[in-house]
Amino acid sequence: MERPTSKPIGHHYLGLDTPTVVVNTDLLKSNIKNAKSSLYGTSCKLIPNVGTHGTAEIARYQTNSNHDLPVFVDTFQQAQSFANNGFKNIIIESPPVGVGKVESLQRLVSTAHITVSLSSLAHLDFLKHFPMENISVLFRIRNKSDSVGIGTHQELLELVKLLVEHFTIYWKGLITVSKGSDSLEESFKEILSAEAFLQSHFFTSNELLINTSNQPLSKAHPTLPSKITGLISGNYPFEVNGSVSACSVVSTVMSTPEPGRAYIDCGQKAISIDRGIPSVVNYENALIEKMSAEHGYLVFNSADINLKIGDKVLLRPANYSDTFNLYDFINLIKDDRLELVIETTARGAFK
Amino acid sequence: MQPYRPNIGAAIDLIETPSLLIDLKLMESNFSVIAETYSHTTCKMRQHAKNIKCPDILWRQREIGGTLNGVCTAKVSEAEVMVEGGIRDILVTSEIVGGDKQRRLAYLAKRADMKVCIDNKTNLNSLSLIAQEIGSEIGVLIEVDTSMGRTGIRTPEEGIELAKLAESLASIKFLGVMSHQTVDGFADKETRFIEGKRYIDKCLVVKTAIEKHGIEVAIVSSGETFSYDVAPQIEGVTEVEGGTYALMSGPTKYMEEFSLAGKVLTTVIDVTETEIVIDAGLRCLGGPLGSTPTIEGQDDLSFVEMHDSYSVLIVKGENIFEIGQTLFICPSQQDILVNRWDNFIGVRDGIVEVVWNISARGCHH
């Protein structure tokens, strides 16, 4: 794995070893505050998807170091990483399919309250053979934007009945994932409809959670039904509603063989292009044309921009989660100086 | 946190998913193709470490043969890992910019035979000053842009100037020229030979131009996996920078003599009427700009959505898949996938034989 930066605390961030990922702590804190304030006046809580960054430190900013507040992760290994760091209330997106994951769950529940998201009888069966305490279940339901989950109200009812009547595990409620930019309202409708159906059969959901898939929270707020108890989001510490990004990747120009073109030391291994090409932050009219594994291809008008070997180019990732996934360390900066180097302890926790 | 490590001797069906597996027989067969191809040639393979990032695997190719006992790396930090792994002849195939990285390179040159590519005078002068200060010698090869439109000199004249400068600088040893190449899409053998030779010839033009000025060009490092069999047939090429052939990936399937040895084991975690969900997503597989992997032996399955930690695949025809069933994913791009994992699980005949740390993972600097 990469070593952390060789530079001391207090060093200017443009002097760090490149490529490297930096997060501005002031912007991070203000984004977290703004995101939380967007839900003021509602009974809905903001649940951080801490799998996005994989660091306990940023998760603590998000939860005000209150380890009893819920955090959301994608995998069992990520949950273990956060449990190891003292988090005591963890929601896991993946169902516990396979002996290894069930065993992970058994280890996890000894230190934290774990909520798992299930969508089939087979998922419940995995839990049946390993009776546990300190665990809750959410049933994941489909909506028009997400084909994963329980498809019909009747199936849902049968699963809820089975769980409540035959398992010792607590049924907490429902969750659905809103994918795509205009799918939040659809998700609200689907989850409320499912909840009403269960209610008509005398089953009450305590939690109705929407995983926003990192859509801007401002979109949720105007139409947020009062029954929704939680919105799950991962991006908000880094960017709220298109604001200035708190996160960038610092790279260095390594070659300028032709006017109007420069090659930087940051390619796909240091900034993901899985969900889009990054944008250039500090040169307004420069663009990333493409990226190979090790290089970024920068194009610009040489009449406007004079880039030399050694110059620093700041890139804004197209997707934060994909980029944090590439780094073992994140550099937190304040007033342009290195403040703290934190480890992405849940990086690579794919299981 | 500690990466997952299955027990040595465990059966493949006990491996937790998703996991990155190497079929050791297939990898060794790929290595044998190289050993055979270069058994009687003066040109040898300089395996690229950027693809597998693991000294143990590079050592395995050395044992099987065909190499010049040195490797390439893309970064100084990768080179550090290789030196720590006992490899003592390294060519860094990217320009190294900035005093700190050049300093790391110069210190490495005290412990190993370090070579680096250059394409401009500023960089070369700076390398010389730092190597002098540290008291080491760095070998340099001029990078020639032959097809990538990326780093590298564009004309032989630039090469002559740089070679002359390198010859004049203290703590710098001018060694030769190098280039990277690529072919797009499916390339048959005829295309590989035509395109491979065309690109390598551009590099040789620079070599000849430099030699005309009385400067010896000892190394021509050119050719990649797609031209591994082209380069040794071209007089003057001394080494080939191949990396992909070790594990292979989807886009290079046209190289039929090599087998796909690196695959991701995944589990079906949900099933609907027409789709399945697997426990491997973008974070562990990668999918640059929407490119998707394939599932081994399952032509009726195709990826429709890739999310952080899971993917949705559509099933053509009857959906007979079951929750808990395992599948093998064939990666679409090997080296960016490997860069996301912390270890390889080496499997032979369905049994875990070895777990290797991918010790240069994330070595970005």
User: How many CB atoms sit inside 10 A of residue B234's CB?
Assistant: 18
Cα–Cα distance for residue pair B302/B306, rounded to 1 Å: 11
Work out the percent of chain B whose per-residue pLDDT is above 90.
86
pLDDT digits (tens, 9 = 90+) for B165-218: 999 999 999 999 999 888 877 778 888 888 889 899 999 999 999 999 999 999
Contacts of B267 in chain A (CB under 8 A): 97-98
Across all residues in chain B, what is the average pLDDT?
94
**Residue B315 — left, alpha, or beta (φ > 0 → left; ψ -120 to 50 → alpha)?**
beta
Please give the pLDDT value at position A113.
Answer: 96
A96 and B CB contact within 8 Å: no
Give the closest-approach CA distance of A351 to chain B in angstroms.
6
Using the beta-carbon criterion (under 8 Å), do A326 and B339 form an inter-chain contact?
Answer: yes
- Spatial separation of the C-alpha atoms in residues A341 and A7, rounded to whole Å: 10
Would you say B338 and B50 are in contact if contact means Cβ atoms under 8 Å apart?
Answer: no
* Fold (topology level) of B12-19+257-357: Lyase, Ornithine Decarboxylase; Chain A, domain 1 (2.40.37)
Contact B152 A346 (CB under 8 A): no
A343 touches chain B (CB under 8 A): no
Q: Do residues B301 and B266 lie in contact, with contact meaning Cβ atoms separated by under 8 Å?
A: no
The answer to whether A124 and A159 are in contact (CB under 8 A) is: yes
Domain segments of chain B as ranges:
12-19+257-357, 24-247
For B72-79, what is the mean pLDDT?
A: 96
Output the pLDDT for position A136.
Answer: 94
Identify all chain A residues contacting B3, using CB atoms and an 8 Å cutoff: 348
What CATH number matches the domain at A13-23+242-343, 1.10.760.10, 2.60.40.10, 2.40.30.10, 2.40.37.20?
2.40.37.20
Render pLDDT for B8-36 as a digit per residue (tens, 0 to 9): 999 999 999 999 999 999 999 999 999 99
* Plot region of A96 (φ>0 → left; ψ -120 to 50 → alpha; else → beta): beta
Give the range among A32-41, B119-128, B328-337 with minimum mean pLDDT: A32-41
pLDDT computed for residue B101 by the predictor: 95
Condensed to tens digits (0 to 9), the pLDDT of residues B174-186 reads: 999 999 888 877 7
With contact defined as beta carbons under 8 Å apart, do B117 and B155 qualify? no
Residues 297-326 of A with CB under 8 A from B: 297, 309-310, 321-322, 325-326
* Domain-wise residue ranges, chain A: 13-23+242-343, 39-233
Other Cβ atoms closer than 10 A to A78: 30
Which amino acid does the sequence have at A333? Answer: I
> Tell me: domain B24-247, CATH 3.20.20.10, correct?
yes
CB count within 10 Å of CB B351 equals 14
pLDDT of residue B39: 95
* Residues A61, A36 contacting (CB under 8 angstroms): no
Tell which A residues from 141 to 160 touch B, by Cβ distance under 8 Å: 147-148, 151
Can you name the residues that pair with A349 across neighbouring β-strands? Answer: none
The amino acid occupying position A29 is K
Cβ within 8 Å, pair B310-A94: yes
SS3 label, residue A330 = strand
Phi then psi for residue B73, to 5 deg, are: -135, 160
**3-class DSSP assignment, residue A229:** coil
Count of Cβ atoms closer than 10 Å to residue B299 Cβ: 8
Nearest chain B Cα distance for residue A41, angstroms = 31
Tokens of residue B224, six digits: 């990649």
Name which residue leads in pLDDT, B1 or A192: A192
Query: Can you tell me the distance from the alpha carbon of A87 to that of B230, in angstroms, rounded to the nearest whole number?
Result: 57
| Architecture field, domain A39-233 | Alpha-Beta Barrel (3.20)
- Chain A residues 25-64 with a CB less than 8 Å from chain B: 51
Q: Shortest CB distance from B154 goes to which of A257, A266, A294?
A: A257
Whole-number Å distance between alpha carbons of B303 and B100: 43
Q: Which of B303, B343, B304 lies closest to B327 in space, CA to CA?
A: B303
The confidence score (pLDDT) of residue A305 equals: 92
Write down the pLDDT at residue B124: 96
**CA A316/CA A310 separation, integer angstroms:** 19
Common-topology check for domains B12-19+257-357 and B24-247: no
Q: H or E segment at B102? A: helix B99-111
* ipTM of the prediction: 0.95
| CB within 8 Å: A95 and B287 | no
Find the CB nearest B1 among A97, A123, A345. A345
Q: What gap in Å lies between CA B227 and CA A117, rounded to an integer?
A: 49
- Residues in chain B, how many? 365
Degrees to nearest 5, angle at CA B316 with B314 and B322: 65
One digit per residue, the tens of pLDDT, for chain A of length 351 reads 788 888 899 999 999 999 999 999 999 999 999 888 888 888 899 999 999 999 999 999 999 999 999 999 999 999 999 999 999 999 999 999 998 999 999 999 999 999 999 999 999 998 876 666 789 999 999 998 888 999 999 999 999 999 998 888 899 999 999 987 678 888 999 999 999 999 999 999 999 999 998 777 766 667 789 999 999 999 999 987 667 899 999 999 999 989 999 999 999 999 999 999 999 999 999 999 999 999 999 999 999 999 999 999 999 999 999 999 999 999 999 999 999 999 999 999 999
B3, B120, B363 ranked by CB distance to A2: nearest:
B363
* Residue A207 main-chain phi, psi, to 5 deg: -125, 135
Distance from CA of B285 to the nearest CA of A (A): 10
Could you tell me if residue A101 is left (phi over 0), alpha (psi between -120 and 50 degrees) or otherwise beta? alpha
Residue B147, pLDDT score? 77
**pLDDT at res. A221:** 66
Q: Is A289 in the B-facing interface, judged by CB distances under 8 Å?
A: no
Name the burial class of residue B50, with classes exposed (0-12), middle (13-18) and buried (19+) by CB atoms within 10 angstroms of its CB: buried
Lowest mean pLDDT among A1-10, A266-275, B222-231, B263-272: A1-10
The pLDDT of residue A163: 92
pLDDT, tens only, B276-327: 999 999 999 998 888 899 999 999 999 999 999 999 999 999 999 999 999 9
d(CA B149, CA B163): 21
Place of tokens 């190294």: B96
pLDDT at A173: 97
* C-alpha A104: how far from chain center: 21
With beta carbons under 8 A apart, name residues in chain A contacting B97: 252-254, 265, 309-310
CA distances from A209 to A54, A234, B13 (A): 21, 14, 35
Coil, helix or strand at residue B118: strand
B309 CB neighbours in chain A (<8 A) are 51, 74-75, 93-94, 350
Do the bridges between strand B343-348 and strand B19-23 make them parallel or antiparallel, or are there none, so unpaired? parallel
Q: What is the pLDDT of residue A39?
A: 85
Nearest-Å Rg of the Cα atoms of chain A is: 22
